[in-house]
């Protein structure tokens, strides 16, 4: 502020002084010019008087000219310090004036020629000559110009000083404001560091802690006091995490990197911390590696709980036996579960991002789109939909509903579809069962936990057992031994809720005779979904298959490979062993049993499917037959 005031005062003084000098130079120049004019006028008047008779008019003109010279000389003398010798000249002029006044013209002419002109030539100040006058006027003009140039220069310097002062003032004011803002930010940052939940450490090049906030010791779970001068290696050893020192070393040696690592600290109460190291060694105000340590235990636990919840929900959706799917507002599938993929025999890549029009028949896609629109605009949609899926016409009980965002605006459509085709077939089978019970067309056998619980007259006629004899007996007594594995497989399928239709089995009557039967079985469930048992219909199809009278022979062959089955193997082994026991041991070769196993056959079935596995068994059987024949 003092600089600005001084600059303003100096500028005013320079301008004032310059104006005064300039006025003086101008006055001097004007006086010199006026003096030149008056003297020249006197010379002209004197010359006129010398060449003409004396007259009163000429005398008056000359006298007024002399008076003008005196006045001009007095002004010039007052405006300059020069001594010009005009007084001597004027005294001579006075003498010349007295001669003219006395009417002595000839004496006056002689006086001018002999005295006035020599004096005029000898005086110091030659203001009457044009050259001398012009020189003085030029000198006065030069003084004026120089003074004005100095005034302009000093004024410019003064103005520049004022501008520089103003600039310096505003710069200083800006720096003060900037410093206030920086100090305010520093106070906030320091408060945040000291009172925040994170730990902050500054570690110099040698691994010495030069700063740590109040939260550092608690978050790091260290007993080492974190004061200035503590080595970071001591802290790392105390918390049992040498990685802390490794992170510091890497960032120190490679300052362009910023590393973040998670680690566990605390022996009594383990905590998970996240350490972020950033190099500020290049910053002259810091000259350290900044370690930001954050306790992320709760965040990790919360994240793990959310992930478990998400996995649980995903697993429930994925393993649900019903079809679950989500579509966006354009009708593209964005998520489907495994039941959907299994029902459609497609992969996620085939389904996701496509619409129903690309997956189903046009009439089915139109039906599905109608349901989606109703769900969006009505809030819900429920219906039975008959859709051609994977080449089979299936009936689905479908429920669709919109998914809403936080503003209650729909952003997707979710659907749940239950395949009720088997339920409908079950109803048809139950109707057939009722008809069979009433009219006795086929054997009706109900079972629970593998034991026969119901037996109709047709079953008594087919198998030869009365109801009193057979109820409570296992269902395995109704088939030959070779079919026991097939029966177990059927029971497994029924327990899973599957309906078994048209399975051919070799039945065994009470009298030991066999026949070929076609089995249809359905699981019976209560309203809560619990299985009550199994209801089966057995139809004798021996004649249809033209089995002939030797049905028992078929019971000894595997239906898939045509090789002897277990029953045939036991029968043949028993015969060979019995014959060997009765014969002399030394006679002939003893019977040999060769067991052939197929490695990783289960993996082939799982990877390629049961049909490929069956075909592989048939090929192996053909090779065995070619060797033994």
Nearest to 213 by CA among 199, 230, 192: 199
pLDDT at 325 over 60: yes
Cβ neighbours for 82, distance < 8 A, ≥ 6 positions apart: 125
**Which letter does DSSP use for residue 390 in this model?**
T
297-320 mean pLDDT: 85
pLDDT in tens, 525-546: 765 667 888 888 888 888 776 5
Q: Is 508 helix (H, G, I), strand (E, B) or coil?
A: strand
Residue 485's pLDDT is 87
pLDDT at 381: 94
Give the model confidence (pLDDT) of 597-621 as tens digits: 788 888 888 888 888 888 888 888 8
What's the rounded Cα separation, in Å, for the pair 96 and 110? 10
pLDDT(402) > 90 = yes
pLDDT of 497 over the 80 cut? yes
SS3 label, residue 219: helix
Whether the pTM exceeds 0.75: the reply is no
Judged on CB neighbours under 10 Å (0-12, 13-18, 19+), 531 is middle
User: What CA–CA distances, in Å, run from 469 to 455, 464, 472?
Assistant: 10, 10, 8
- Tens of pLDDT, residue by residue over 268-300, are 788 888 999 998 888 777 788 988 888 888 888
Q: What is the pLDDT of residue 32?
A: 52
Q: Is pLDDT at 128 greater than 60 in this prediction? A: no
**Mean pLDDT, the chain, whole residue set:** 76
Would you tell me which CATH number, out of the four given (3.30.450.20, 3.30.70.141, 3.30.300.20, 3.30.479.30), belongs to the domain 320-419? 3.30.450.20
Percent of the chain surpassing pLDDT 70:
68
Is the pLDDT assigned to residue 320 strictly greater than 80? yes
pLDDT of 384 over the 70 cut: yes
Question: Residue 411 — very low, low, confident or very high, per pLDDT cuts 50/70/90?
Answer: very high
CATH of the domain spanning 196-301, picked from 1.10.760.10, 3.30.300.30, 3.30.450.20, 3.40.50.1390: 3.30.450.20
Mean pLDDT of 463-475: 92
- Say whether pLDDT at 59 is over 50: no
Classify 85 as helix, strand or coil: coil
Cα distances (Å, whole numbers) of residue 398 to 194, 229, 380, 417: 60, 72, 11, 4
Dump pLDDT digits (tens) for 173-201: 788 887 777 666 656 655 555 555 788 88
Q: Contact 334/412 with Cβ under 8 angstroms?
A: yes
pLDDT at 226 over 90: no
pLDDT of residue 397: 93
One-letter-per-residue 3-state SS of 24-71? HHHHHHHHHHHHHHHHHHHHHHHHHHHCCCCCHHHHHHHHHHHHHHHH
Distance CA 442, CA 457 (A): 9
257/279 Cα distance (integer angstroms): 8
Strand order in the sheet with 199-203: 209-212, 199-203, 288-295, 271-280, 258-265
Looking at the predicted structure, is the pLDDT value of residue 38 above 90? Answer: no
Q: For position 327, what pLDDT does the model report? A: 95
Q: With bands split at pLDDT 50, 70 and 90, how would you rate the model's confidence at 372?
A: very high
Tell me which of 354 and 614 has the higher pLDDT: 354
Whether the predicted pLDDT of 422 surpasses 70: yes
pLDDT for position 82: 36
Residue 471 binned pLDDT confidence (cut-offs 50, 70, 90): very high
pLDDT of residue 175: 81
Whether 450 has a pLDDT exceeding 50, the answer reads yes
The yes-or-no verdict on residue 555 having pLDDT over 60 is yes
Average pLDDT of the segment spanning 91-104:
72
Lowest mean pLDDT among 258-267, 404-413, 582-591: 582-591
- Confidence class for position 83, pLDDT limits 50, 70, 90: very low
Q: Which CATH class is domain 2-149?
A: mainly alpha
**So where are the chain's domains?**
2-149, 196-301, 320-419, 441-586, 594-629
pLDDT attached to residue 409 = 92
| Band of pLDDT at residue 479, cut at 50, 70 and 90 | very high
What is the mean pLDDT of the segment spanning 560-577?
78
pLDDT of residue 2: 53
- Bridge partner residues of 271 (DSSP): 265
Confidence check: pLDDT of 27 > 70: no
Q: Do domains 2-149 and 441-586 have the same CATH topology?
A: no
Is 80 exceeded by the pLDDT of residue 305? yes
CB atoms within 10 A of CB 591: 12
pLDDT value at 80 more than 50: no
99: how many CB neighbours lie within 10 A of its CB?
18
- Per-residue pLDDT for 156 more than 50? yes
* 241 vs 222: CA distance, rounded Å: 11
Length of the chain: 629
399: left (phi over 0), alpha (psi -120 to 50) or beta: beta
Question: Helix and strand tally (H, E) in the chain?
Answer: 22, 15
Dihedral pair phi/psi, residue 534, rounded to 5°: -135, 135
C-alpha 313/C-alpha 476 separation (Å) is: 42
Q: Strand (E) positions, 188-270?
A: 199-203, 209-212, 258-265
Greatest mean pLDDT among 104-113, 163-172, 251-260, 364-373: 364-373
What is the structure's pLDDT at 60? 47
CB 96 within 8 A of CB 108: yes
Q: Average pLDDT in the 68-79 region?
A: 52
Compute the distance between CA of residue 507 and CA of residue 516 in angstroms, rounded to an integer.
Answer: 6
Please indicate whether residue 187 or residue 261 has the higher confidence score (pLDDT).
Answer: 261
**Of the listed ranges 16-20, 365-369, 562-566, 599-603, the one predicted with least confidence:** 16-20
Residue 541 and residue 551 in contact, taking contact as beta carbons nearer than 8 Å: no
* Residue 357 CA to its chain's centroid (Å): 35
Task: Identify the band that residue 79 occupies on the pLDDT scale cut at 50, 70 and 90.
Answer: very low
Q: Tell whether the model's pLDDT for residue 240 goes beyond 90.
A: no
Q: How far apart are CA 625 and CA 629, in angstroms?
A: 6
Residue 487 has pLDDT above 50, yes or no: yes
* Per CATH, domain 441-586 is 3.30.450.20: yes
Q: d(Cα 505, Cα 514) in Å, to the nearest integer?
A: 10
Top-confidence residue, 289 or 168: 289
């Amino acid at each position: 502020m003092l600089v600005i005031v001084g600059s303003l005062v100096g500028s005013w003084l320079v301008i004032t002084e310059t104006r005064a000098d300039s006025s003086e130079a101008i006055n001097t120049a004007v006086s010199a010019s006026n003096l030149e004019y008056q003297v020249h006028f006197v010379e002209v008047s004197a010359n006129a008087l010398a060449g003409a008779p004396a007259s009163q008019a000429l005398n008056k003109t000359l006298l007024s000219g002399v008076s003008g010279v005196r006045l001009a000389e007095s002004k010039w003398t007052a405006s300059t310090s020069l001594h010009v010798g005009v007084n001597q000249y004027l005294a001579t002029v006075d003498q010349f004036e007295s001669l003219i006044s006395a009417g002595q013209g000839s004496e006056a002419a002689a006086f001018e020629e002999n005295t006035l002109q020599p004096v005029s030539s000898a005086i110091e100040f030659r203001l009457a000559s044009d050259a001398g006058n012009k020189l003085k006027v030029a000198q006065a003009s030069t003084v004026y110009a120089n003074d004005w140039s100095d005034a302009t220069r000093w004024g410019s310097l003064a103005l520049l000083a004022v501008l520089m002062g103003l600039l310096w003032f505003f710069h200083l004011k800006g720096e003060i404001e900037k410093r206030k803002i920086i100090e305010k930010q520093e106070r906030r940052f320091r408060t945040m560091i000291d009172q925040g939940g994170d730990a902050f450490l500054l570690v110099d090049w040698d691994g010495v802690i030069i700063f740590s906030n109040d939260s550092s010791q608690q978050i790091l779970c260290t007993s080492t006091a974190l004061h200035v001068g503590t080595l970071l290696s001591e802290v790392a050893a105390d918390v049992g995490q040498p990685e802390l020192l490794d992170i510091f070393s890497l960032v120190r040696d490679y300052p362009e990197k910023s590393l973040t690592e998670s680690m566990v600290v605390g022996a009594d109460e383990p905590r998970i911390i996240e350490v972020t190291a950033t190099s500020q060694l290049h910053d002259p105000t810091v000259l350290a590696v900044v370690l930001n340590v954050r306790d992320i235990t709760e965040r990790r636990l919360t994240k793990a709980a959310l992930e478990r919840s998400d996995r649980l929900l995903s697993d429930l959706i994925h393993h649900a036996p019903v079809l679950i799917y989500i579509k966006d507002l354009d009708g593209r599938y964005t998520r489907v579960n495994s039941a959907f993929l299994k029902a459609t025999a497609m992969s996620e890549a085939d389904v996701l991002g496509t619409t129903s029009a690309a997956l189903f028949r046009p009439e089915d896609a139109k039906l599905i789109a109608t349901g989606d629109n109703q769900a969006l605009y009505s809030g819900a949609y429920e219906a039975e939909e008959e859709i051609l899926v994977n080449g089979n016409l299936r009936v689905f009980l479908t429920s669709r509903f919109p998914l809403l965002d936080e503003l209650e605006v729909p952003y997707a459509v979710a659907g749940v579809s239950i395949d009720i085709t088997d339920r409908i077939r079950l109803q048809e089978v139950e109707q057939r069962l009722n008809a069979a019970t009433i009219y006795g067309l086929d054997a009706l056998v109900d079972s629970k936990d593998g034991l026969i619980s119901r037996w109709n007259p047709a079953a008594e006629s087919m198998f030869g057992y009365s109801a009193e004899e057979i109820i409570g007996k296992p269902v395995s007594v109704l088939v030959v031994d070779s079919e026991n594995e097939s029966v177990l497989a059927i029971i497994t399928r029924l327990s899973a809720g599957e309906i078994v239709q048209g399975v051919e089995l070799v039945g065994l009557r009470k009298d030991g005779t066999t026949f070929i039967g076609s089995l249809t079985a359905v699981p019976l469930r209560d309203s809560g979904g619990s299985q009550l048992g199994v209801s089966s219909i057995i139809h004798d199809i021996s004649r249809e298959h033209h089995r002939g009278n030797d049905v028992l022979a078929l019971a000894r062959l595997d239906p898939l490979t045509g090789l002897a089955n277990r029953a045939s193997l036991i029968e043949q082994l028993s015969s060979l062993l019995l014959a060997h026991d009765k014969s002399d041991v030394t006679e002939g070769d003893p019977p040999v049993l060769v067991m052939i196993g197929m490695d990783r056959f289960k993996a082939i079935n799982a990877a390629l499917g049961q049909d490929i596995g069956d075909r592989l068994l048939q090929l192996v059987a053909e090779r065995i037959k070619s060797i033994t024949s």
